[in-house]
């Protein structure tokens, strides 16, 4: 009787460990996966972001402001300021390969510096927004936003992927 009880306890312990390992693998494989489209992320972001003062950017705008070619990526969402005194913008890039993240992050940092240099000294509100901008890279996705809604945009982005 004692031997049988020990075997049952050992089986349950190993079973718990196996369930725990499978759960961890599930969580890790889900984070930063490559299965969410930019369209889905865009829809989720646009539910929480105010896009007044922004227009949907084109592939030419991506090249002009960031020096990036949209054909190099699996998807791009870009909203840019619609007037010269506005700094609000949203960029989401789905990478074809994670090695592209550095290139996109560098382009985003250059854009942020350009905007900061343009408004520093006279655009107090704009400079404040630029300084509180969000740039994050997770898995195959990069987000950059300058907006009063930056935190909500980040949360929508994070929940989408």
Convert the pLDDT of each residue in 23-52 to its tens digit.
888 776 655 556 789 999 999 999 999 999
> What is the chain's Cα-based Rg?
22
What percentage of the chain exceeds 90 in pLDDT?
Answer: 71
Q: Which element (helix H / strand E) includes 91?
A: strand 89-94
Convert the pLDDT of each residue in 51-91 to its tens digit.
998 999 999 999 999 999 999 999 999 999 999 899 999 99
Strand order from edge to edge, sheet including 54-56: 54-56, 75-81, 89-94, 141-146, 134-138
pTM of this prediction?
A: 0.80
Residue 4 has pLDDT above 70, yes or no: no
Mean pLDDT of the chain: 90
């Amino acid at each position: 009787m004692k031997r049988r009880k020990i075997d049952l306890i050992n089986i349950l312990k190993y079973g718990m460990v196996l369930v725990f390992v499978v759960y961890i693998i599930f969580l890790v494989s889900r984070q930063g996966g490559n299965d969410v489209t930019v369209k889905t992320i865009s829809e989720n972001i646009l539910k929480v972001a105010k896009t007044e003062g922004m227009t949907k950017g084109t592939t030419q705008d991506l090249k002009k402001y960031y020096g990036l070619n949209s054909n190099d990526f699996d998807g791009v969402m870009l909203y840019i300021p619609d007037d010269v005194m506005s700094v609000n913008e949203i960029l989401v890039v789905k990478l074809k390969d994670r090695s592209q993240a550095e290139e996109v992050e560098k382009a985003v940092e250059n854009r942020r510096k350009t905007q900061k240099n343009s408004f520093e000294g006279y655009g107090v509100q704009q400079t404040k927004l630029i300084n509180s901008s969000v740039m994050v890279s997770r898995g195959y996705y990069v987000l950059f936003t300058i907006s009063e809604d930056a935190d909500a945009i980040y949360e929508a982005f994070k929940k989408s992927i």
